[in-house]
Amino acid sequence: MKLWKLLEAARQSLLKNKTRSALTMFGIIIGVAAVIVMMAMGTGAQKNIEERISSMGTNLLMIRNGTNSRGGVSRGAGSSRSLTMEDADAIRREANLVVAVSPTVSVSGQVIGGGKNWYTQAQGVHMDYLYNRSWDLTEGSMFTDAELRARAKVAVLGSTVAENLFPDQSPIGQSIRIRNVPFKVIGTLEKKGQSSFGRDQDDLILIPVTTALFRLVGDRQWVSDIYASARTIEDTEAATEQITEILRRNHKLIDGQEDDFNIRTQTELTEMFTSTTAALTQLLMWIAFVSLIVGGVGVMNIMLVSVTERTREIGVRVSVGARGSDILYQFLIEAIALSFTGGVAGVLLSWGVAHFMETQQGMTMIIETWVVAAALGVSVSIGLIFGLFPAYKAAQLDPIDALRHE
């Protein structure tokens, strides 16, 4: 038989039992849709994480205090006091692969302004902080080097703080109080949204680091963190080595002695989060793949039933000249047609589910072409694999026994 005749015979056979064919395809539809949706969720989550980490700054290096212990018990990362203003100055002077350096000091507390109050975090920073974090202003200006040296009481508000303290007016020129110290608002930051850790990046106030040290903290030496930016992404590793060498020398650490600081890069953060997302996506994908296998078993089961029901038909066809290969191909094509049609329906269903989750749930869903092609390929392969045994069984029927079958 020619291919088009085999296809026509398969089509007629499937249309004879529309309900049964539809129910048989259901497992394939769910399996294909599940695989595509799971991959779309994983890819979307990975892109989301990369965008959020990128929003922290370009080629960012985060230098943090190390760990100390008391009584043999570690007090956790960042518990030691090892980073100083002098460290930040040394990095700025000596690290030629670093283009921006900003020491930071964090102070949390109630802020009063505009007749309202808001609990937030004030961060003492250098002017380079905006470059480190790839952050722009929406209004006003950043404080200057002269204001930094003068320990001026000026502040730049994040959008969350500005909206809560001055909801119906511009905060520029207004006065706020941080720990009962008055500050003049000179600028507002553009909205950044949540960080990769789920923290609201806009819920903060930037003030000169010198002002924070001398007027709020009362400690003129130690800083919480140092943010730095490598010249390019390719220079990140070399810049990390430069900073490590400078800080070890400043802290008088001898060979073999552990660093009393930690340096984290965007690459490390991205790898940490994406590896977790990838592992979860793989787990969900395998679960979805199991549903495809179940759908394949359903195809095989129905095809076996079809062989039994059509035994006499097979005997008639063989008796008038059909070869065993013709019977084999016909049943195989029917199984593949079921799986392929189910795969196409599964793709359409996955697009509908992805659109719903994006518009109604706010999730980032990215359906890639290769995933759709792979899902369709797997569905066809399942039809081929699970349809092979029923097709072979049909081709091996004895024509005389088949004609006697009631």
**pLDDT tens-digit profile of 67-97?**
654 444 444 454 467 899 999 999 999 999 9
The residues, any chain, with a CB within 8 Å of residue 284's CB and separated by 6 or more, are 38, 41, 42
What pLDDT is recorded for position 78?
Answer: 46
Looking at the structure, do residues 142 and 219 belong to the same domain, yes or no? yes
Answer for the pair 271, 46: CB distance below 8 angstroms, yes or no.
no
Using alpha carbons, select from 199, 197, 219, 200 the residue that is nearest to residue 209.
219
Taking the C-alpha atoms of residue 371 and residue 352, their distance in angstroms, rounded to an integer, is 16
Of 203, 236, 259, which residue sits at a domain end? Answer: 259
The residues, any chain, with a CB within 8 Å of residue 63's CB and separated by 6 or more, are 83, 87, 225, 226, 227, 228, 243, 247, 261, 262, 263
What pLDDT is recorded for position 3?
Answer: 65
Looking at the structure, do residues 110 and 31 belong to the same domain, yes or no? no
Backbone dihedral angles phi then psi of residue 240, each to the nearest 5 degrees? -65, -40
The whole domain housing 321 covers 3-52+271-404
Check residue 9 and give left, alpha or beta (phi > 0: left; psi -120 to 50: alpha).
Answer: alpha
Looking at the structure, do residues 37 and 138 belong to the same domain, yes or no? no
Check residue 76 and give left, alpha or beta (phi > 0: left; psi -120 to 50: alpha).
Answer: left
For the beta carbon of residue 8, count every other beta carbon within 10 angstroms. Answer: 12
| Euclidean distance between the first and the last CA atom of the chain, given in angstroms as a whole number | 26
**Quick one: how far is CA 97 from the chain centroid?**
30
pLDDT by residue for the chain (406 residues), tens only, comes to: 566 676 776 677 677 777 777 877 888 888 888 888 888 887 887 777 666 666 555 588 889 987 654 444 444 454 467 899 999 999 999 999 999 999 999 999 999 998 899 999 999 999 999 988 888 999 999 999 999 999 999 999 999 999 999 988 899 999 999 988 999 999 999 998 776 566 788 999 999 999 999 988 877 778 989 999 888 878 888 999 999 999 999 999 888 888 888 888 876 666 666 676 777 777 777 777 777 777 777 777 777 777 666 666 666 666 666 666 667 777 777 788 888 888 899 899 989 988 898 888 778 888 888 888 888 888 888 888 877 777 777 766 665 555 555 5
Of 204, 232, 259, which residue sits at a domain end? Answer: 259
User: In the 8-state DSSP scheme, what is residue 194?
Assistant: B
64 in a structural domain = no
151 in a structural domain = yes
The residues, any chain, with a CB within 8 Å of residue 159's CB and separated by 6 or more, are 138, 188, 189, 190, 191, 202
Of 259, 287, 314, which residue sits at a domain end? Answer: 259
Q: Which helix (H) or strand (E) holds 270?
A: helix 266-309
75 in a structural domain = no
313 in a structural domain = yes
Looking at the structure, do residues 102 and 131 belong to the same domain, yes or no? yes
The residues, any chain, with a CB within 8 Å of residue 21's CB and separated by 6 or more, are 14, 15, 302, 338
Residue whose pair of structure tokens reads 């980490």 in the numeric block: 53
Tell me, yes or no, if the pTM score tops 0.85: no
Q: Which amino acid is at 319?
A: S
60 in a structural domain = no
Residue whose pair of structure tokens reads 């922290």 in the numeric block: 56
Looking at the structure, do residues 373 and 251 belong to the same domain, yes or no? no
Looking at the structure, do residues 276 and 255 belong to the same domain, yes or no? no
CA angle 262, 266, 271 (to 5 degrees): 100
What pLDDT is recorded for position 70?
Answer: 47
What pLDDT is recorded for position 205?
Answer: 95
Looking at the structure, do residues 92 and 215 belong to the same domain, yes or no? yes
69 in a structural domain = no
What pLDDT is recorded for position 76?
Answer: 47
Looking at the structure, do residues 357 and 236 belong to the same domain, yes or no? no
pLDDT in tens, 254-272: 888 888 888 888 766 666 6
Number of domains into which the chain is organized: 2
For the beta carbon of residue 136, count every other beta carbon within 10 angstroms. Answer: 10
78 in a structural domain = no
Answer for the pair 226, 88: CB distance below 8 angstroms, yes or no.
yes
Answer for the pair 188, 58: CB distance below 8 angstroms, yes or no.
no
Looking at the structure, do residues 299 and 392 belong to the same domain, yes or no? yes
Looking at the structure, do residues 94 and 158 belong to the same domain, yes or no? yes
What pLDDT is recorded for position 365?
Answer: 86
Looking at the structure, do residues 124 and 13 belong to the same domain, yes or no? no
Taking the C-alpha atoms of residue 78 and residue 260, their distance in angstroms, rounded to an integer, is 9
Q: Which helix (H) or strand (E) holds 394?
A: helix 369-395
Token pair for 344: 């196409």
Looking at the structure, do residues 230 and 88 belong to the same domain, yes or no? yes
Backbone dihedral angles phi then psi of residue 254, each to the nearest 5 degrees? -90, 165
128 in a structural domain = yes
